[in-house]
Amino acid sequence: MSEGKRILIVGVNWIGDVIFTTPFIRAVRQANPDSHIACLLHPRCREMLETNPRINEIIIYDEELRHKGIIGKLKLINYIRKNRFDTAFILHRSFTKALIPYLAGIRERIGYRTKNRRILLTKAAEEPVEDMHKVEYFLNIAKFAGMNLPQYNSCEFFINDSDRKFVKDMLEEGGVSDKDILVTVCPGGNWGPKRWPKENFAGAADLIAERFGARIAIAGAKKDIELAEEIKKSMRSSPLITCGRTTLGQLGALLERSRLVIANDTGPMHIAVCMKAKVIALFGPTSWRITGPYGRGDYKVISRNETCEVPCYDFTCKDNSCMAAISVEEVCRTAEEFLRPPFPYSPSRREEIMRKSPLPFRGEGKGEG
């Protein structure tokens, strides 16, 4: 591509998925070092890219409020038209997300020919026949457009020193010093069946706290506060609840500070990987091959789904057997590998702690994933 273009990247709607687009963004910037690059994003995803140095501008597409309905969408289209973009890369699969750059008069429009939108694109790529990780799914569009891919495809999330200072102060207020081993658990998830049972999070956190003398933080969004409080009530140790107290950048700083992060398949898990934290990622109904940690990092996926087809999108599932099959014992064994215990800790001692616990642990994990 020639220098000085104005490029619009039509992004995706979820925090984890936005993280998966960052290698694509890096590829676009690498191919267009002097171009103006803007991203069209859902409001909840703004923080994921607003500190990304490869982006010049973020345009918010507020589908639920400001841009809801025809009038709202026309206002957005008019704004994009006035910005005179030369090229649009449409990463979202929906028809509407391709229609907007088409109506905005963007001359070159590149994306997958999904949702009967071939007519809206000037360059339409065929969707891959086989499942692939979402990072590769997005990078495939860059390759289709003739760009050279980055030398490394790890995802990126950028924080600043003010985020780190906020977290340092928050931890000090909670009695956590710089010398303390901090282990952060992220028990939330945008739908219930993706969540490891709360009693298992409580049990694993207690075992790790006793084993390593670690301090435990429970992180998540404001909507996770009630879940965090329930986990805290089930614990013998006293965790620090940070749910709803941090921006995404501050959450990134917290995860960066953590010696270990234990998380479900969620945005915070992917942020933790970006921050080069040691991560235990717990997967059940979703496929780690498609939405798991990606690229360089120190992480371990545990998945014990042996009965259901994956990915499974039964949001009404009450059994949650795939997540319950991941045992507290297995997670703690993996935590030991990451935290490298400084002194012997026998299986008999671990069993003794388990017997003393009042918690009804669920699941009997088999081996390691």
DSSP per residue, 300-356: EEEE---SS-SS---TT-S--HHHHTS-HHHHHHHHHHHH--SS---HHHHHHHHHH
* Integer angstrom CA distances of residue 179 from 36, 160, 172, 200, 261: 44, 22, 11, 27, 17
CA distances from 114 to 11, 91, 98, 107, 160 (A): 15, 11, 10, 19, 38
pLDDT of 168 above 50: yes
pLDDT beyond 50 at 368 = no
Q: Where are the beta strands (DSSP E) in 127-273?
A: 182-186, 215-218, 240-241, 260-264
Give the C-alpha separation, 241 to 170, whole Å.
10
The Cα–Cα gap between 89 and 101 comes to: 9
Would you say 245 and 170 are in contact if contact means Cβ atoms under 8 Å apart? Answer: yes
Q: SS3 for 137? A: helix
Give mean pLDDT, residues 263-280: 96
Class of domain 161-356: alpha beta
Which one, of 217, 198, 311, lies nearest residue 259 by Cα?
217
For residue 341, what pLDDT band results from cuts at 50, 70 and 90? low
Give me the pLDDT at residue 359, please: 40
Q: What's the rounded mean pLDDT across residues 120-128? A: 95
* 324 within 8 A of 362, measured Cβ to Cβ: yes
pLDDT score recorded for residue 149: 87
Which one is predicted more confidently, 33 or 310? 33
Q: How many CB atoms lie within 10 A of CB 2?
A: 8
| % residues pLDDT > 90 (the chain) | 77
Is it the case that residue 176 has pLDDT exceeding 60?
yes
Instruction: Summarize pLDDT for 355-367 with one digit per residue, the tens.
Output: 544 443 333 333 3
Q: Is the pLDDT of residue 138 over 80?
A: yes
Strand extents, DSSP E, the chain: 6-10, 36-41, 57-60, 87-90, 108-112, 123-125, 182-186, 215-218, 240-241, 260-264, 278-283, 298-303
pLDDT, tens only, 205-239: 999 999 999 999 999 999 999 999 999 999 999 99
Cβ distance 220 to 291 under 8 Å?
no
Question: How confident is the model at residue 349, as a pLDDT?
Answer: 53
Residue pair 247/163 in contact (Cβ under 8 Å)? The answer is yes
The percent of the chain in helix, strand and coil, each rounded to the nearest 5, is 40, 15, 45
pLDDT at 352: 56
**CA distances to 4, 29, 39, 52, 279 from 56, in Å:** 13, 10, 8, 9, 31
Q: How far apart are CA 261 and CA 277, in angstroms?
A: 7
Q: Which amino acid is at 315?
A: F
Instruction: Give residue 47's pLDDT.
Output: 94
Average pLDDT over residues 34-50: 95
Instruction: Tell which wins on pLDDT, 275 or 193.
Output: 275
Please report, for the chain, how many H helices and E strands are present, in that order: 15, 12
Please name the residue that has the structure tokens 């935590």. Answer: 335
Contact status, residue 254 vs residue 167, Cβ threshold 8 Å: yes
Residue 224: both structure tokens together: 């996770």
The CATH homologous superfamily of the domain defined by 6-144? Glycogen Phosphorylase B; (3.40.50.2000)
Per cent of the chain over pLDDT 70 is 91
Per-residue pLDDT, averaged over 157-186, amounts to 97
Would you say the pTM of this structure is higher than 0.85?
A: yes
Cα 319 to chain centroid distance, Å, stands at: 25
* Ranges in the chain annotated CATH 3.40.50.2000: 6-144, 161-356
pLDDT in tens, 300-336: 999 987 777 777 777 777 777 889 999 999 999 999 9
Contact 49, 78 (CB under 8 A): no
Under a CB-based contact definition with an 8 Å cutoff, are residues 9 and 99 in contact?
Answer: no
Q: For 46-61, write each residue's pLDDT tens digit.
A: 999 999 999 999 999 9
